[in-house]
Amino acid sequence: MAKKKQIKVTLTRSPFGYKPRHRECVRGLGLKRMHQTVTLEDTPSVRGMINKIDYMVRVEEA
């Protein structure tokens, strides 16, 4: 069974003061506070949310 690809996403900027849709993407990725890191499965939907808020997050291969 193939291992699914994982990525680590870290919130580097506060979502306050940005568009509500961008804040929703931050919450949708499971990020709640600054400098928090979550490990997510690398799917097209997750990549789409990351691309929308790429100025707020840092992405690394897990």
pLDDT tens for 8-46 read 999 999 999 999 999 999 999 999 999 999 999 999 999
* Separation between Cα atoms, residue 16 and residue 49, nearest integer Å: 17
Name the residue range of residue 47's domain.
6-61
DSSP bridge pairs for 45: none
Q: What is the amino acid identity at position 35?
A: H
Q: Is 38 inside any structural domain?
A: yes
Contact present, 38 and 18 (Cβ < 8 Å)? no
- What domain count does the chain have? 1
What pLDDT sits at residue 50?
Answer: 97
* Separation between Cα atoms, residue 12 and residue 27, nearest integer Å: 14
What pLDDT sits at residue 2?
Answer: 66
Q: Is 28 inside any structural domain?
A: yes
Q: Is 45 inside any structural domain?
A: yes
Q: Is 12 inside any structural domain?
A: yes
24: domain CATH number is 3.30.1390.20
Pairing of strands 6-11, 37-41: antiparallel
DSSP bridge pairs for 33: none
